[in-house]
């Protein structure tokens, strides 16, 4: 997955006007260089915009990092902001620099953060619902907004999509969709940002006139795995699919064949026949075949050193029921001779 963060600020909200904020707010939140940036603005109105641009940039990066580390606490001064242009800022946190796209009007501003490695723009949007959201309705309104966006770009009916959790996750029929999402609401506005298969599908469709055939990532990973010549090992496995058993289990492979499967559930569950479980070679074969069928969703992470699949979310067609699957592989341990 590709984490994303966003923050929207209603610039006309009474609660964030200069005469409404606490006198010590700026010094608690902003560094000395950021304070100078606010003071350098030529008018009170400009200082107001700079203040909340800095805040939204910090908040959006915090939300991004929180998707990977839920234990993180928001310490605003730890997020150092540099405004590069009217539509771009950079936030430095613990040595990493995060680009933040800015969309600013007289009424509101919207900040969308992505990781340094992400070179595609998240799908995002800001709405001003009518009637004005209340604290009790804003959360459901922004979730509905994000559901519509995900459904539109993935070709899924919105009623099949749910957004759950404090750190929001999009699911379909109880299984997580291969997207990361960020939700925000303030004053009169609700906003979202989505990154993952949604964006990659849009990019792929936009480039469909290209007749070149890229190397199969599954084939590349398979070659890397085969080069290790590992035929006796164990690994932990859990899957999500329309199948009898999902795990988690520990699978033991000797001489390229599954020889034992142990339930990791507490208490242990009854296991199906051992022949229903795959080696890592079998998982790579399945991914290679799925990728060759031009799936609508193919979100797979491979171990960069040994080539085995770490996680996979695959959906061959949105028009076919029950053929999608996902799984996770961990704790791969090679047996010594």
Backbone angles phi, psi at 94, to 5 degrees: 50, 45
In three-state secondary structure terms, 290 is helix
CATH of domain 4-204: 3.90.470.20
Binned at pLDDT 50, 70 and 90, residue 212 comes out as: very low
At residue 336, the pLDDT reads 72
Instruction: Give me the half-sphere count of Cα atoms (radius 13 Å) on the Cβ side of residue 102.
Output: 27
At residue 59, the pLDDT reads 97
Binned at pLDDT 50, 70 and 90, residue 320 comes out as: low
Contact (CB, 8 A) for 284 and 295: no
pLDDT digits (tens, 9 = 90+) for 237-291: 988 754 555 668 999 999 999 999 998 887 777 788 898 899 999 999 999 999 8
Tell whether the model's pLDDT for residue 188 goes beyond 60: yes
DSSP string for 124-154: EEEE--SSPP-TTTHHHHHHHHHHHHHHHHH
* CB within 8 Å of 142: residues ≥ 6 apart: 183, 184, 185, 190, 191, 192
Of 53-57, 71-75, 88-92, the range with the lowest mean pLDDT is 71-75
pTM score over 0.75 = no
pLDDT digits (tens, 9 = 90+) for 222-237: 888 887 788 999 999 9
CA–CA separation, 193 vs 183, rounded Å? 7
Is the pLDDT higher at 152 or at 21?
Answer: 21
* Number of neighbouring beta carbons within 10 Å of residue 39: 10
**CA-based torsion, 9, 10, 14, 19: positive or negative:** positive
Binned at pLDDT 50, 70 and 90, residue 135 comes out as: confident
Tell whether the model's pLDDT for residue 214 goes beyond 60: no
CA–CA separation, 131 vs 73, rounded Å? 33
Where does CATH 3.90.470.20 sit in the chain?
A: 4-204
């Amino acid at each position: 997955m590709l984490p994303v963060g966003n923050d929207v600020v209603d610039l006309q909200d009474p609660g964030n006007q200069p005469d409404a904020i606490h006198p010590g707010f700026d010094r608690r939140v902003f560094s000395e260089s950021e304070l100078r940036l606010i003071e350098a603005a030529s008018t009170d109105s400009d200082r107001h915009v700079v203040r909340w641009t800095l805040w939204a940039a910090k908040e959006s990066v915090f939300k991004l990092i929180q998707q990977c580390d839920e234990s993180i606490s928001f310490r605003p001064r730890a997020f150092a902001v540099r405004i590069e242009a009217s539509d771009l800022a950079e936030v430095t946190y613990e040595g990493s620099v995060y680009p933040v796209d800015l969309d600013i009007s007289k009424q509101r501003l919207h900040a969308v953060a992505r990781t340094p490695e992400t070179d595609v723009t998240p799908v995002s949007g800001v709405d001003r619902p009518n009637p004005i959201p209340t604290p009790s309705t804003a959360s459901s309104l922004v979730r509905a907004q994000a559901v519509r966006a995900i459904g539109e770009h993935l070709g899924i009916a919105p009623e099949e999509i749910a957004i759950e959790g404090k750190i929001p996750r999009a699911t379909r029929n109880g299984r997580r969709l291969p997207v990361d999402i960020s939700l925000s609401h303030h004053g009169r506005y609700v906003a979202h940002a989505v990154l993952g298969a949604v964006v990659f599908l849009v990019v792929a469709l936009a480039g469909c006139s290209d007749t070149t055939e890229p190397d199969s990532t599954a084939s590349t990973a398979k070659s890397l795995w085969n080069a290790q010549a590992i035929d006796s090992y164990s690994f932990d496995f859990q899957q999500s699919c329309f199948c009898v058993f999902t795990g988690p289990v520990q699978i033991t492979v000797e001489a390229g064949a599954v020889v034992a499967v142990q339930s990791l559930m507490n208490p242990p569950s009854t296991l199906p026949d051992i022949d229903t479980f795959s080696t890592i070679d079998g998982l790579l074969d399945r991914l290679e075949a799925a990728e060759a069928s031009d799936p609508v969703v193919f979100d797979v992470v491979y171990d960069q050193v040994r080539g085995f699949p770490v996680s996979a979310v695959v959906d061959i067609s949105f028009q076919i029921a029950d053929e999608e699957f996902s799984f996770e592989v961990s704790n791969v341990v090679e047996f010594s001779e």
